[in-house]
Structures are given as structure tokens and as C-alpha cells.
């Protein structure tokens, strides 16, 4: 599968739990187009070990994302009822109570498939339906989507490998710095450091120039 970087993020409508306990049936990332950048991340399963550490880590840094005008949205292939139940469980018991950003229920697995982060054994029939031949859950995929709805950065980890939330913030800073100043960000760049003059801001502009 080709990379989504530089392409429109796949659109979807699905059930989600928002504000730590409210179930909505038609959640979509399209609501943020023209308004906010989005960090959209997948995790494998509710009620597991590594996953709550990541969800709590994003919650702890939620203020950093919000002051950068970035929406944080999570997603797994569990149901919205499973998400809701996990959100009611205290952290000390392995739950994610206190998480307030939206958690999408990708029960059809189609969202994870379209984003290229679906693990497991499956096939697709003539109607476009997934036919499971083994467990299907999402890898730890993370996507930085700009205000135009374009994927600008992605990272996919295997199931045992947790992510670094500070790195996600660094990538947000790099994207926003580039958009505001037209300069490109070298290796290990962090906000406040010197950047570099560049001739392009996006894949489309780069390809047009070459």
C-alpha cells in the first residue's frame, strides 16, 4: 500500500465516545477541516496493558496540543460500548477514566484498513467487505493531519512498541513552523531552534518544482 503522506486523510463517519462518556453515532474528522490540525492515533485494544499508558500520556499533554489548536482523536477496533466501559474504569485498575478526547469505534475495521494500519489476517470480498481469517486489530498508527485534511506525517509501530507523545508534539511544531515561516526543519529540530531555508512547503509543491 502506498503512503498516505501528502494525500487526503481517508474520510469516515463512525460511532465514538466523546468528553469521557457521551456516545455519538456520526463522528468524523471532517469537522476539523479548515479549523484545526489533527493528531489521529490508533491503538490495538481496550482493557490491555500498553494501550492505557498511551491514552493517559496523550491526555496528560492534551493542553499542549490544545494551545497549538490541535485536536487529538483516538481509534481502535473495539465497540463504542467497550470504549465507554473502559472510560469508567479508574486508572489504578487499568482503566482510562479521565480521558476526554474522542475515541472512535472502528468496528468494521474499514477505518484502520483505509489508513494502512490494520494488522491480522483478512481478505476483501467483491462487495468491499472484510472477511476475517484471523484476529484483526490496529497497529499503533499515528497520523498528523493538517487543516486542509492532508496527512503530513505518519508513524506506525508494531503492537508491543509504545509511542512518544513529545515526538508527536515536536512534529506538530515542525509543521506549524514550516507553514508560518516557509522554512524547513532539520533533524532533531525543536521549537525555538534555528531552521533552514527551503524551496518547498509540501509534497505537491516539491513535485511541481521538479
Indicate which residues carry an active-site annotation.
51
Q: What are phi and psi of 36, to 5 degrees?
A: -145, 150
* Rounded Cα gap, residues 15 and 23, in angstroms: 7
* Rounded Cα gap, residues 147 and 36, in angstroms: 5
* Rounded Cα gap, residues 173 and 192, in angstroms: 10
Q: Across the strands, what pairs with 137?
A: 119
Axis crossing angle, helix 50-60 with helix 165-181, rounded to the nearest 10: 40
Strands in the chain per DSSP E: 14-18, 22-27, 37-42, 70-76, 103-105, 118-124, 130-138, 140-145, 151-157, 183-184, 196-197
Q: Give 134: exposed, middle or buried? Use CB within 10 Å, 0-12, 13-18, 19+.
A: exposed
Read off the C-alpha cell for 10. 481517508
Q: Across the strands, what pairs with 140?
A: 157
- DSSP-derived letter for residue 149 is S
Amino acid at each position: 500500500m502506498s503512503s498516505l503522506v501528502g494525500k487526503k486523510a481517508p474520510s469516515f463517519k463512525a460511532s465514538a465516545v466523546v468528553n469521557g462518556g457521551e456516545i455519538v453515532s456520526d463522528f468524523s474528522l471532517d469537522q476539523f477541516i479548515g479549523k484545526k490540525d489533527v493528531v489521529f492515533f490508533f491503538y490495538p485494544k481496550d482493557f490491555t496493558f500498553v494501550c492505557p499508558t498511551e491514552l493517559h500520556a496523550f491526555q496528560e499533554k492534551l493542553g499542549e496540543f490544545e494551545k497549538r489548536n490541535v485536536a487529538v482523536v483516538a481509534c481502535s477496533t473495539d465497540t463504542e460500548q467497550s470504549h465507554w466501559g473502559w472510560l469508567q474504569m479508574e486508572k489504578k485498575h487499568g482503566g482510562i477514566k479521565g480521558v476526554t478526547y474522542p475515541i472512535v469505534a472502528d468496528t468494521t475495521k474499514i477505518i484502520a484498513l483505509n489508513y494502512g494500519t490494520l494488522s491480522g489476517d483478512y481478505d476483501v470480498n467483491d462487495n468491499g467487505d472484510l472477511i476475517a481469517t484471523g484476529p484483526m486489530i490496529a497497529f499503533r498508527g499515528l497520523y498528523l493531519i493538517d487543516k486542509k485534511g492532508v496527512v503530513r506525517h505518519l508513524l506506525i509501530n508494531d503492537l508491543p512498541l509504545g509511542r512518544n507523545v513529545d515526538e508527536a508534539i515536536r512534529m506538530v511544531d515542525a509543521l506549524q513552523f514550516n507553514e508560518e515561516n516557509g522554512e524547513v526543519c532539520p533533524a532533531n529540530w525543536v521549537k525555538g531552534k534555528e531552521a533552514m531555508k527551503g524551496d518547498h512547503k509540501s509534497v505537491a509543491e516539491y513535485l511541481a518544482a521538479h
